[in-house]
Amino acid sequence: MTPQSQQSPQTARATQEDIRRDLQASMEARRELGPGYDDHFIDALVEKLNRQVQQTQQTQVVKSEHSEHSLALAICSLIFGIPIVAIAGGEAGLVGIIVVAAMIFGVNFAFNLRR
């Protein structure tokens, strides 16, 4: 999934334009068909808004989960990285430290690309 608490500005704008277009179409249809179809138009609009709210809530949950996992990975990287860097530094010197630091960075970077 491509999660995006806020939507991207383009997605929000597209959604607003869709809702605006639906409202305009409903108003034009009401003028043509008369007030007898008001309930149908209102129900359709409410259904669309409900779907949009549910989609937004699902996006927020996914973003929250990803944020929690990112924090856990960062903490584990520090906890396990410090002794590994010390061992690598003692055995291979500066080159060992650079290799271990690059590996830790690579794992964290790859994880955060998944957004």
| Domain membership flag for residue 2 | no
Which residue is it, tokens 């138009």?
A: 41
Whole-number pLDDT of residue 11: 61
Q: What is the pLDDT along the chain (115 residues), one digit of tens a residue?
A: 444 444 455 666 667 777 788 778 777 877 777 777 777 777 777 777 777 777 777 776 666 666 777 888 888 888 998 999 999 999 999 999 999 999 999 988 888 887 6
Contact criterion met (CB below 8 Å) for 112 and 70: yes
Annotate 69-80 with b (16+ C-beta within 10 A) or e (fewer).
Answer: eeeeeeeebeee
What's the domain count of the chain? 1
94 φ/ψ sector (left φ>0, alpha ψ -120 to 50, else beta): alpha
Whole-number pLDDT of residue 96: 92
| Domain membership flag for residue 1 | no
For the chain, state the CA radius of gyration.
26
Containing domain of residue 52, as a range?
9-113
Whole-number pLDDT of residue 4: 42
| Domain membership flag for residue 59 | yes
| Domain membership flag for residue 4 | no
